[in-house]
Structure 1
Amino acid sequence: MSKLSSQDIEKRLLRFPDWEYFDNAIHAEFEFENFKDCFSAMSRIAFECEALNHHPNWSNVYNVLTISLSTHDVDGVTEKDFNLAEAIEAIVEPIDE
């Protein structure tokens, strides 16, 4: 998997308004109602990470989840990171039917 250029990353981020690009990674912060909801989302995200074989740098303080995605093999952002960001978005902000 090849590293994306800064221009490609910025263009792709137009679809992900909660995410920012800096320090060779894409970053987002999500706030939930409480710790239980935050931890529940983290558990669901963990299953997606395993399925995609791609794992975030993340932290949780009470009801806030902070996530950074980069592909360590290329020291930057790849398509893998955007695939995981898309899965994360579907979990933390489900589409109302």
Structure 2
Amino acid sequence: MPTQPLSQKEIEDRLRELPGWSAADDRLTRDFHLADHFAATAFVVHIAQIQQELDHHADLTLGYNTVAFSVHTHSVGGALTEKDFALAERVHAAAPSHGAE
């Protein structure tokens, strides 16, 4: 079954399950703060592993002690889909093990 864009209500409902995340301009985003650059880099590597497992990839920006995450689904014109939320849920679950807030 092809991936379908989520409705605004579906997006709002899913966001309630992901504290700290937001959706704007057809992107699901979150900024994470970590202890230092090494911790931020390790978190990016963990996210890369999750992305490979799900075959769905976000835009990541690595700062000194920050990681900015932004995703949407290109194959449906850049809208938000279940694939984006599945990736976000996995990243959200991994964040505490890296001390990411």
Q: TM-score, normalised by structure 1?
A: 0.93
Unaligned runs of 5+ in 1: none
Deviation at 1:93, TM superposition (A): 2.0
Deviation at 1:78, TM superposition (A): 0.5
- How many Å separate the matches in 1 of 2:96 and 2:14? 18
Segments ≥4 residues shifted beyond 6 Å:
none
Aligned to 2:41: 39
Aligned to 1:84: 87
User: Which residues of 2 match residues 18-97 of structure 1 at below 5 A?
Assistant: 18-74=20-76, 75-94=78-97
Unaligned runs of 5+ in 2: none
* Matched AA of 2:79: G
| 8 Å contact kept, 2:54–2:87 | yes
Q: CA RMSD in A?
A: 0.8
Identity, % of aligned positions: 32
- How many Å separate the matches in 2 of 1:33 and 1:93? 12
| 8 Å contact kept, 2:27–2:71 | yes
Number of residue pairs the alignment of both structures matches: 94
| 8 Å contact kept, 2:40–2:63 | no
What secondary structure, in the 3-state scheme, does the structure 1 residue paired with 2:22 have?
strand
| 8 Å contact kept, 2:73–2:79 | yes
